[in-house]
Amino acid sequence: MVKSLRRSPASGDDFIIALYRVMDLVVDTTSAGTSAMPAFSANLDANSDQVSPVLFLCYDDVTFLDLAGPMQVFHAANTLRRKIGKVAPYQIKLVARAAGQVKTDVGVHIEANSWQDTIVSDRGIIIVPGGPGVWDSETQASVRDYLCAQPQEVEIASVCIGAFLLGHAGLLRGKQAVTHWKYCSRLQADFPETRVNADSIFIRDGGIWTSAGVTAGIDLALAIVERDFGHTLAADIARGLVVFLKRTGGQSQYSKILETQAGIPDGRLSDLHAWISDNLHKPLPTETLAEQLGMSTRSFVRYYVSKTGTTPRKAVENLRVDTAKRMLLDYPLLSIKRIADKCGFQGEERMRRTFVRQFGSTPSEYRENFGPTQQ
């Protein structure tokens, strides 16, 4: 395997909540926050009662989110498995060269065990986060010695620029790999025997996993859970954390509508985009959008293009497509016709033509290519 928006113009969380509204699957986030239980039950069929150690390598100036994001995914997997009477499958540990406190890049100190005193079984995985500390020569040497001493059966993964520490350990030789998009060229130059795929969110090549910038560590951890326990549990975790189970747009990492909004300080358009998200199932002609802002159609079109660089009609189509993509992947049993209706395509055929034009594949082919891994 080598594989709403009102609060913040670039809020991916609210985009997903809007998706739930489209699906008639409303998650109550007013009091539960990210701990809200997902819409579907966990995978009851996964029968493994084995416990796999998940070791996070720590060093001074490690990026805090590179640690916290994947850790939260594995913790959520443990919580959901316990709720259905199963053994918590992941034993999460922070390890460093010496036991004690480690300073993260945000100045917060964390407590780690000594990696010399921690045994990794052949079912374990070692995750190497990124951070400014990867450029320290002593860190490079100590991590290299530790990783090279591990049994071949142990899986090793990196988050963001943690890939450079894998490179220094010789683990990327002959492998496909990815890192933060800003550093892909450097990774290729520093380790020329590595095949750097700069647009991937994460890559698994044999027992080596690498992931793109920072939050891609969450994607990587979700993929590991899906591999271990199936699509349903991973999708449950993604919904509980209000993140995408699978992002398919390459390392751009943003849906088209969110990417457009990220550069817009104008709260009026943020509110408009939130309203669009809530009303995707309806016809949304440009005249209706103009009315929402109290503008004439002509003035609104000029204003919208000047702020976003795209037309209102194209923006609505992009949001319909992005929503349909998520639904195709997260709801594999939902019919394409139902998805087309919920996303406002006004017919399955129109959605099919849009997908073929944008992706060169039909919705069915898109679901097959990017859907849950067959177990």
Nearest Cα to Cα of residue 110 among 158, 60, 73, 69: 60
| Residue 217: per-residue pLDDT | 93
Q: Which residue has the higher pLDDT, 178 or 238?
A: 178
| Residue 57: per-residue pLDDT | 97
Exposure of 204 by Cβ count < 10 A (0-12 exposed, 13-18 middle, 19+ buried)? buried
Measuring CA to CA, how many Å separate 256 from each of 229, 263, 328?
Answer: 31, 12, 17
Predicted confidence (pLDDT) per residue in 188-215, tens digit: 999 999 999 887 888 999 999 999 988 8
| Residue 371: per-residue pLDDT | 66
| Residue 23: per-residue pLDDT | 39
Torsion of CA 277, 365, 339, 274, to 10 degrees: 0
Which parts of 149-195 fold into alpha helices (H)? Answer: 163-168, 184-190
Nearest-angstrom CA–CA distance, 122 and 133: 28
Residue 39 has pLDDT above 70, yes or no: no
Average predicted confidence (pLDDT) for the chain: 81
Average pLDDT over residues 292-304: 94
Task: Answer yes or no: are the C-beta atoms of 89 and 233 closer than 8 Å.
Answer: no
Q: Output the six-digit token pair for 248.
A: 């398919």
Average pLDDT over residues 96-102: 96
| Residue 64: per-residue pLDDT | 96
Q: Which of 60-69, 202-211, 322-331 has the lowest mean pLDDT?
A: 322-331
Residue 223 has pLDDT above 60, yes or no: yes
Residues shown for the chain: 375
Average pLDDT over residues 172-184: 93
Nearest-angstrom CA–CA distance, 117 and 126: 15
- Output Rg (C-alpha) for the chain, integer angstroms: 22
Nearest-angstrom CA–CA distance, 252 and 201: 9
Task: Answer yes or no: are the C-beta atoms of 364 and 323 closer than 8 Å.
Answer: no
pLDDT range class, residue 249, cuts 50, 70, 90: low
| Residue 265: per-residue pLDDT | 58
Strands 100-103 and 109-114: antiparallel
pLDDT range class, residue 182, cuts 50, 70, 90: confident
| Residue 74: per-residue pLDDT | 96
Instruction: Map tokens 């990867």 to a residue.
Output: 134
Q: Which residue has the higher pLDDT, 295 or 6?
A: 295
| Residue 245: per-residue pLDDT | 61
Which H or E run contains 238?
A: helix 231-241
Q: Which residue has the higher pLDDT, 153 or 39?
A: 153
Q: Which of 137-141, 152-156, 199-203, 314-318 has the lowest mean pLDDT?
A: 199-203
| Residue 367: per-residue pLDDT | 86
Name 111's bridge partners. 101
Residue 300 has pLDDT above 60, yes or no: yes
| Residue 224: per-residue pLDDT | 93
Residue 338 has pLDDT above 60, yes or no: yes
Q: Which residue has the higher pLDDT, 143 or 20?
A: 143
- The proportion of the chain whose per-residue pLDDT surpasses 90, expressed as a percent, equals 55
User: Which residues neighbour 225 within 8 Å (Cβ) at sequence distance 6 or greater?
Assistant: 73, 74, 77, 233, 234, 237
Q: Which of 114-128, 143-157, 244-258, 338-352 has the lowest mean pLDDT?
A: 244-258
